[in-house]
Amino acid sequence: MKRFAVFASGYGSNLQAIIDALKKDKVSARLCLVVSDNKKAFALKRALKAGIPTVTFDPQSFVTRQAMDRAMIKELRTFHVDFVVLAGYMRILSPVFVKAFHNKILNIHPSLLPSFKGAHAIKDAFDYGVRSTGVTVHLVDEKVDHGPILAQEALSIRAKDTLRTLEARIHRTEHKMYPKIIDLFAKGKISTRRLAA
């Protein structure tokens, strides 16, 4: 069975969805470690409650981003991690890390990439006035919010939607979608298509 680590920086709702799916045997892989760059992240409490080992890497303790990423790689090797799942991890991984886990880093993004990249994708789509947005799960490469797309799901933006209701619907979609894609990825049953450069 494949072993994976989840990286999270904050509340960890996607992590909780993954933990819940694992408890129901809906993900055919073992979550062996939760990694954070924030010792106060609620995601760490979720992991501890579920009996999952955690480790925190303080960016202030490292001279460079690459140095921190090398330390994380070493820790992941200790836990025999096969692939990495980003779930609200708010730091950009360096090329050092991306190369170490080439095509083995999954990320979930709250838009239909390549549209609305960045940390405020839901608000950006809502403010722009598009009729639909959605969720993308993709492999991470050396560019931000880029890489082979594993899955996308579209959501219509309703006339009565507020930013809050749209965020809630997108998060519900993420929580259903991410565990399914992780399961398919772990089983080697998912294909990719390259985003246009």
Question: 2-108+168-186 maps to which CATH number?
Answer: 3.40.50.170
3-state secondary structure of 36: strand
| Domain ranges within the chain, ordered by starting residue | 2-108+168-186
pLDDT tens digits along 81-91: 999 999 999 99
5 close to 26: Cβ distance less than 8 angstroms: no
Which residue reads 């303080």 in tokens? Answer: 58
pLDDT one-digit tens code per residue, 27-70: 999 999 999 999 999 999 999 999 999 999 999 999 999 999 99
In angstroms, the CA 122 to CA 69 distance is 28
Task: Let me know how long the chain is.
Answer: 197
Q: What is the pLDDT of residue 197?
A: 32
What mean pLDDT is reported for the chain? Answer: 94
User: Is there a catalytic annotation at residue 120?
Assistant: no
Summarize pLDDT for 134-162 with one digit per residue, the tens.
Answer: 999 999 998 887 889 999 999 999 999 99
Give me the catalytic one of 80, 102, 109, 146: 109
Six-digit token pair at 69? 């990423």
